[in-house]
Structure 1
Amino acid sequence: MPDPQLTRWFPSGAVLTARAASGPAGLCLVVEDGPEHGIGRVLDLRTLELGPVLPFAVGFDSLLSPDGSWVVGLDDDGGSEVGGLVARSVDGTEVRPLTDRAPFVLRGLEYAAAGAHLLATIVDEDGHHLLHVPVADPSAASVLFSSPEESWFGHLSADGTLACADTTDHVPGVRRPAVSVVDVTTRRVVAVADDLPDGGPVRAVRFSATPGDPRILLATERSGFARPALWDPMSGERRDYELPELEADAIVLDWHAETGTILVVDALPGRHRLLAVDEHSGAVRVLRDEGGSVCEPDVASVFPHYAQSFLAPDGRVVVLASSWTTPLHVEVTDGAETRVVVPPVEVPAGIPLASQLVDSADGTPVQLWWAVPDGPPRGTILQIHGGPNLVTLDRFHPDVQAWLASGFAVGCLNYRGSVTFGRTFREGFWGVGGDREIEDVEAALDWLRGRGLADPASTFITGASYGGHMSLLSVGRLPDRFAGALAIVAMADWEAAWDEMNPALRKTWTSFMSLAPDGSFDSSRIDETLKRFSPINHVDRVRASVWLHQGSRDTRTPPSQARSYGDRLRAAGGDVLVEWFDAGHEPTGSEAARHECDRLLELVEARLVGTAWRDLDGLDG
């Protein structure tokens, strides 16, 4: 049985994110991990006082109003990610619906600085839309922009006269966005920032916070790596900051127009450096270079980051910092003094992971984080992040530390498709049906095997979402390399899931599945790619034990396709167990995370002593 002391890795109260409110008041919503769901508190950045726990659940998609009176989020029936916007008063006494339309998926949410309007980027069966909501009269909500193509992360100018979104109308089906700017009054597109065909995607980070200043901070990739730019959509004037001294992506986080400070992260493969770029001179100043991470991208949700450092209205830097051994916490600094305003929760002393670049089959270097436990390893756990356009960073992962504390070596792979390694690497999985990712997994295993790790008899692969999909695909396409796959909310059968996916995910994967490696769109490719990409089509080769943990309300990786995979593998004589939790794409709360980790450890222990997973207790789907 798992060591009960492992519960210490999953304490309640761990900071999940801190989300700044629009406007000059200097408020932000701190979201912490409660036992059963996320809990929220309001942090006043002027006084650095943290308010009481809010009397309702909050999550990564929750947003505080500029005056701190309301929290807005999606009411999605327990985690389905499809629903409508509601506002809750911070005292819990009032709940106001903000939308009166068919349920939708949310892909952006922002208040105007004055708080009178809300801009929601929504996706429904008719396409992607910018929905402009007058907070005092939600019935007067109107659509500013619509497209059948992907459009995400809408923003409002400080005076509320302009809106923008990352759009793909110019390259239908290809995830290389431009920034389209819309006049809020006329609903007309008045300007587009587009670097194609040669310059790559352009994304909007934010408008200037100064009323009357229409400039937008952009993230561009003219060099192949992310860099900041400032663009005036009304005059067309644009300044790009090449930052030739940086060798990797510069993750563009924030901008304080009053002081001319652009906040970026130098995303080195093994660490983050937090930098300030002077918008006038282009000079770069190092704000923090202590290892660990200060942001974590999230490109398939309501906000572009799970957590990110940002600039307060008075110009101070709010740093959200973490490392392999230190949980996320909140610091505020003015350059001379740094104060920890929300400290990290206490956890046992952990083991940091080292960064190693491993050459894949075609010579492409991929990043592998790895560590060994104190004492001889009992086996190896290869962890694959979700996305695919996400990344494993030097931040605290309680499950990783639990594996190490239980005597297992751990590897965490940033495969082709991961972000922060430049455009070519991020797009490296396009149009090849999983081939590049499988090559990267095999390269990581070979490197670990050369260190005396990754014995197939005691090596397990695990991950959530796309990481779960890759876990299942790996045991089908690399059948002799693993003892087991622990797949969480995995896509196991893309063809069966297609009609049940929410519309945002269906459009995204239509794009990814139809792309050729050169980035051209060819819809005739999708059927063949779906077959190669679906783990269910490789079950006859699976020799490892397989566990699927699925959400009963999930619209990203729907329930029926998990059942069909379990049935097909069972019919092929495989050892498979499907278990369920009552939520959407992930269980919520520290207790659920701990329970899931306990189950993972229990399954691995069983496999090492020869017990079939199908024989373990649980609700076998």
Structure 2
Amino acid sequence: MTPTSPRRSDPAPEIPDALFADPAAEARWRGRFTAARVSVPDWARDAPDRSVYSSNATGTWEIYAWDRASDTHRRVTDRPQGTRGGAASTDGTAIWWFDDTDGDEFGVWVAEPFDGGAASPAVAGASPGYPAGLELGRRTVAVGWSTDDGSTLAVSEDGAEARVVYTHTEDAGIGALSRDETLLAISHAEHGDSRHPAIRVLRLADGATVGERHDGVGPDGNGRGLDPIEFAPVEGDQRLLVGHERRGRDELLIWDLATDTESEVAIDLPGDLSAGFYPDASALLVAHTRAGRTTLHRYDLATGELSDLPTAPGSVGGADVRPDGTVEYGWSSAAYPSSVRALRPDGTDTELLAPPGDRPAPSVALEDAWVDGPAGAVHALWTRPEGTTGPVPTVFMIHGGPQAADEDRWSPVRAVWVDAGFAVVHVNYRGSSGYGSAWRDAIEGRPGTTELEDIAAVHEWAVSTGLADPAACVLEGWSWGGYLTLLGLGRQPERWAVGCAGVPVADYLAAYADEMEPLRAFDRSLFGGSPEEVPARYSEASPLTWVDAVRAPVLVLAGENDPRCPIRQIDNYLDALAERGVPYAMVRYDAGHGSLVVAETLKHTVAEIAFTREALGLPVPA
């Protein structure tokens, strides 16, 4: 378990009751946060009328059961800090969810009857740990967990005690279970590079390896990872859909284990690709991501024909194909809130699962900018308050990950900053996904510094174009974005007037010592070794190293139970700020890496905007 430091007192930000003097404006922004939302449902394979989804309808993200035949809904979980995700058993009789403690991500899978009842540990003999994948079959369950000792992958057949099929000190995870439940594909990093994993396929009858793929390092010197996505959903079909990056972007191939042959899926689209099988395995549902937006397509495996599936411009968050060919997907854009939709074979596209209550008010759209950076064009998405001209206070909202990206999607947080009079700029710096493998991997060996170079280029663009007021630029982010915020305040103090960092890495050496083992493996891949092996790289990348240069007021927000960016290393950084007399404030909450409680998220946003206004001397809008 992650060590924690004793609870302590730090200066707390003043959190006003309202951000706006106008009651209508106050109600509008709060309504965007509190409006109910739902996730794309997952359904039981052999009982597709039985579905599971997540919703914040009660003010906390929890798991819900949906019986489509009777159109009845039941809240499954009711936990103070919420529940992150669930799945339906293959026969639809049970719902699985991960039972951790106060958001610390350490626990076991539990199951309860679909129609209600007590939850109990779902896999006999499975040890507590951080989740490392789950696959549910008719007779077989494959489950993975990780601890400080490494990764363990196991199977349980017909409810029997879990049988370990793989264990290693390096990172590994459950990938895919064949439909006949004879083969299990796993992802592993025995080669020491968890950012670019290999695939092994095991025969469950005896644990023997029946196939291995490791793309290693490409001719450009960059790693090449493989991702086992899913087996063809047909009995006896041993084709495995695999994500690869052999040509420097995320693409697809099919590996037939019966013949040990590969066939690459040739799709002529410029961005990154992900996919899943249609129910009869005759086609793939393909998601194409480029420049922060997603399009959906159907790829016919026999003919190679690629058909566009009509969706509105924006981002797709999850998509799957029902037995009747209906594509269910989540959609949103910066201007319009999220919606779970059903695109039927006849082309009709309707809302599938409407959340209860009022819909949130729309916000403003995002625009694109391609900014010259030190290693090529940096893609930024930006918006400004309607009716404003000339330079305005600007928040540079830096995404986490780092293997993620900002997209044209709905964000109540962005919307309230805009309502409060700030322009918002998102930077898809080197390290971001969706712009090719070389862009994503450019931070290896030099994390933090590389991203800040791209952020600096976009900052200069925003100032030079008259968008951003150079005296009122705010650096803000959560997780890796929070880390870059603290690092930027120390390495680029002349650029930033305020910093707001949520669940950040603040002291990299202490963070490595305390964080969950999968993240240690990630860090070793990112830095090229452990702190003992490459100490100078960790020191260079640590915000604590640069704390002497920080001069902007700093707001830090962190969870007491966070296994990813643990609290002790954040306290070390706050101690350093206090010793140097840098003005700072701290919001602590009793959860993990972020909160699933809407009221807590709302509080964090109010704290950030109020802290920033005070630091910049900005009035509350009339």
Structure 1 and Structure 2 fold alike (TM over 0.5):
yes
Residue 449 to residue 21, structure 1, CA distance change in 2 (3 Å): farther
Give the structure 1 partner of residue 411 of structure 2.
397
Using the TM superposition, give the Cα deviation of residue 163 of structure 1 relative to its aligned residue in structure 2, in angstroms: 0.6
Whole-Å separation in 1 of the counterparts to 2:257 and 2:547: 52
Partner AA of 1:228 in structure 2: L
CA 1:84–1:415: 2 relative to 1, 3 Å: same
The answer as to 2:567 corresponding to 1:559 is yes
What residue in structure 1 maps to residue 15 of structure 2?
none
State the Cα deviation string for residues 3-60 of structure 1 (Å, max 9, x = none): 2322112124212443344446354322112444213333457x59463333535644
Q: What TM-score, normalized to structure 2?
A: 0.89
SS at match of 2:133: strand
With over 3 angstroms needed to count, the CA separation of the structure-2 counterparts of 1:56 and 1:22, relative to structure 1, is farther
Question: In the TM superposition, what is the alpha-carbon distance from 1:365 to its structure 2 partner?
Answer: 1.6
TM-score (norm 1): 0.89
- 1:290 partner amino acid: A
Alignment equivalent of 1:122, drawn from 145, 159, 177: 145
CA distance in 1, matches of 2:505, 2:532: 22
Letter in 1 for 2:168: S
Count of residues paired in the alignment: 584
Between the aligned partners of 1:254 and 1:441, the Cα distance in structure 2 is 34
Gaps of 5+ in 1: 296-307, 516-521, 612-621
2:556 maps to 548
**Aligned mate of 1:286, from 308, 313, 337:** 308
2:328 equivalent to 1:318 = yes
Q: 1:525 and 1:431 mapped to 2: Cα distance?
A: 12
- Aligned-residue sequence identity (percent) comes to 27
Q: Which of 467, 471, 474 lines up with 2:481 in the alignment?
A: 467
SS of the residue corresponding to residue 42 of structure 2 reads strand
1:49-105 superposed Cα distances (whole Å, 9 cap, x missing partner): 463333535644322222333222222111111112211333442111135454311
The alpha-carbon deviation at position 401 of structure 1 amounts to 0.5
Cα distance in 1, alignment partners of residues 445 and 455 from structure 2: 18
Counterpart contact for 1:179–1:202, Cα < 8 Å: yes
| Structure 2 equivalent of residue 581 of structure 1 | 589
Confirm whether residue 103 of structure 1 aligns to residue 115 of structure 2.
no
CA shift for structure 1 position 294? 1.1
Determine the C-alpha separation between the residues in 2 that align with 1:213 and 1:460: 54
Structure 1 Cα separation of the partners of residues 150 and 581 of structure 2: 42
Task: Deviation per CA, 1:457-513: give whole Å up to 9, x if none.
Answer: 211111111110011011110001111111001110011122221122222212212
1:330 to 340, 354, 357: 340
Q: Partner amino acid for 2:424?
A: V
Q: Match of 2:330, as an amino acid?
A: L
1:76 aligns with 2:100: yes
Decide whether the 8 Å contact of 1:253 with 1:309 is kept in 2: no
Where does residue 431 of structure 1 map in the other structure?
445
Answering whether residue 177 of structure 2 is matched by residue 156 of structure 1, we say yes
Aligned-partner Cα distance in 2 for 1:135–1:604? 57
Query: CA, structure 1 residues 44+212, in 2 after alignment: closer, same or farther (shift >3 Å)?
Result: farther
Between 4-13 and 204-213, report the one with greater CA deviation.
4-13
Residue deviations 1:374-395, cap 9 Å, x none?
Answer: 2336410101111111111111
Of residues 420-429 and 344-353 in structure 1, the stretch that sits farther from structure 2 once superposed is 344-353
Determine the C-alpha separation between the residues in 2 that align with 1:105 and 1:555.
Answer: 9
**CA deviation map 1:383-439 (0-9, x unaligned):** 111111111111111100011111110011111111121111111111013221010
Shift in Å at residue 557 of structure 1? 0.7
Residues 401 and 536 of structure 1, relative CA distance in 2, 3 Å threshold: same
User: Match of 1:439, SS?
Assistant: helix
Contact 1:55 1:92 in 2 (8 A): no
Partners of 1:358 and 1:24 lie apart in 2 by: 50
Provide closer, same or farther for how the CA distance between residues 564 and 269 of structure 1 changes in structure 2, counting only shifts above 3 A.
same
Q: Which aligned pairs between 1:484-523 and structure 2 lie closer than 5 A?
A: 484-514=498-528
The answer on whether the counterparts of 2:337 and 2:362 sit within 8 Å (CA) in structure 1 is no
In the alignment, structure 1 residue 354 sits paired with structure 2 residue 367: yes
Q: Note closer, same or farther for the CA distance 1:293–1:50 as it changes in structure 2 (3 Å cut).
A: farther
SS class of match (1:496): helix
The answer (yes or no) to whether the contact 2:65–2:114 under 8 Å persists in 1 is no
Question: Structure 1 CA distance, aligned partners of 2:461 and 2:134?
Answer: 43
1:226 counterpart = 2:250? yes
Contact 1:82/1:502 (8 A) holds in 2: no
What is the deviation of 1:229?
Answer: 1.3
Q: Is 1:309 aligned to 2:319, yes or no? A: yes
| SS, match of residue 41 in structure 2 | strand
1:54 corresponds in structure 2 to 76
Matched to 1:2, the amino acid is L
Structure 2 runs not aligned, ≥5 long:
1-17, 21-25
Does structure 1 residue 372 correspond to structure 2 residue 384?
yes
Question: 1:487 is paired with a residue of what secondary structure?
Answer: strand
Pick the aligned partner of 1:194 from 199, 210, 214. Answer: 214
CA distance in 2, matches of 1:369, 1:191: 43
Paired residue for 1:262, among 245, 264, 284?
284
Pick closer, same or farther for the CA change 1:248–1:569 going to 2, 3 Å.
Answer: same
Which gives a bigger RCO, structure 1 or 2 (Cα 8 Å, sep 6+)? 2
- 2:30 paired residue number: 7
The answer to whether 1:387 aligns with 2:401 is yes
Give 1:601's aligned amino acid. I
- 1:459–1:481 contact (8 Å) kept in structure 2: yes
Q: CA RMSD in A?
A: 2.2
Q: Does 2:168 match 1:147? A: yes
The residue type paired with residue 490 of structure 2 is G
Q: What's the counterpart of residue 453 of structure 1?
A: 467
Tell me which residue corresponds to 1:208: 232
CA distance in 2 between partners of 1:225 and 1:421 (Å): 7
Q: Is the 8 A contact 2:472 2:496 kept in 1?
A: yes
Q: 1:24 to 1:286 in 2, by over 3 A?
A: farther
